[in-house]
Chain A
């Protein structure tokens, strides 16, 4: 189980799962939270599951009674929570370094704005 390659899309999925680390999320929900299309999301979920960062389970329902098939849901594993937090923090650190220090507003401009 190697570490998955971290891309912007992977970070979006991890951030979506980290929003509620213990919550179980369907693929469709993760598509909405990450803004990724299905064709991008599912290969990422498969790679994260192979890496042991994500686990999946089938919804326990009676498809006949419910009138729909069981859905599969995903959540971060304990290792995945640690790894996801680390990667998201690393990215935030890199972004803030790239953006540089936030420039202070000029006193005159502040007075004008006020």
Chain B
């Protein structure tokens, strides 16, 4: 027990600033020696182990930051998903619209910080909830998880190592290629798609369906004939589109010119008009929620597998918003829209 208490205070001291870490460790070990009873020692050490160090944000601040970052991650995911659907629905223009959407998200990413892990979690949850398995045959957790994990690991690495725009773009594209392969290995094995084609899966997934076909050919009675690559690339497109846009968002934020640490400035809210007031923010949030409730049910939900097959084969359907058919899913989308709109209004007020 004493050893555990000593280990806890040692671990706690490591989180303190370098000029204080050794001093605090020595002090706490001395206090531990003076505390009678193992329970007292353990309580002393455990409190230090779970509490923020002197310059760390408090737990309440951390929870607030986490909530704010989660809202950003959810919002970026929904925007990326919607933009990808619009792009893919335009058939031949899909690659161009995807690039335009990536540039737009890149611009947004330069202004808004986002967490790679939270964004990965949001994309995973969205892909899992938005794509009914009958429509997307290889879009279960076993397919999505390797793709999203590979993408998250790659993004963390690129954000840490990339020093230039060129390096970030290169690292991002390599990550997207690897993530697409990781998410399509299962499909390739089942469909008999040759492994040598793997490096081409990501770029081909961004093109309209039928541009290139390979692998075994399937035909069904009364249904369209298709190649294995049609199904594999349609599945890959489901992940590749939103991951491409999220990559643009994250990397644009990572390579922006670092400014000095932002000092907390007092808010100047006087004279900002009605929209800058608390009541104005609430009204903005309510309006955004109502707009989300009106728009979300019109987004593609995946639909009936029979009618979707042709669109799946020509790669003009990206993925569904199946979860908005459920009241809870629709409510979450409306809540997210409201929180994002209120935050945007608040940011305008703070900047002003």
Contacts and interface: CB of A to CB of B under 8 A. Distances in A.
Contacts, number: 57
B33 interface: yes
Interface stretch (B51-59, B185-193, B230-238, B305-313): B51-59
B308 to A, nearest CB: 55
A23 interface: no
B47 interface: yes
Given A37-B47, A38-B44, A69-B26, A43 B54 contact: yes
Nearest to B33: A68
B188 to A, nearest CB: 52
A42, A47, A68 interface centre (most CB from chain B within 10 Å): A42
Given A26-B31, A72-B27, A43 B47 contact: no
Contacts of B53: 43
Interface in A17-67: 26-28, 37-40, 42-43, 46-47
A38 B47 contact: yes
A43 B54 CA distance: 4
Interface in A71-106: 71-72
Bin chain B's interface residue count. 20 to 34
A40 B12 CA distance: 13
Contacts of B27: 27, 71-72
B294 interface: no
Contacts of B28: 38, 42
Interface of B: 12, 16, 20, 23-24, 26-31, 33-35, 43-45, 47-54
Considering the complex of A and B, which 9 residue pairs feature the smallest CB-CB distances, nearest first? A39-B51, A39-B47, A37-B47, A69-B30, A46-B54, A72-B27, A43-B54, A38-B47, A71-B30
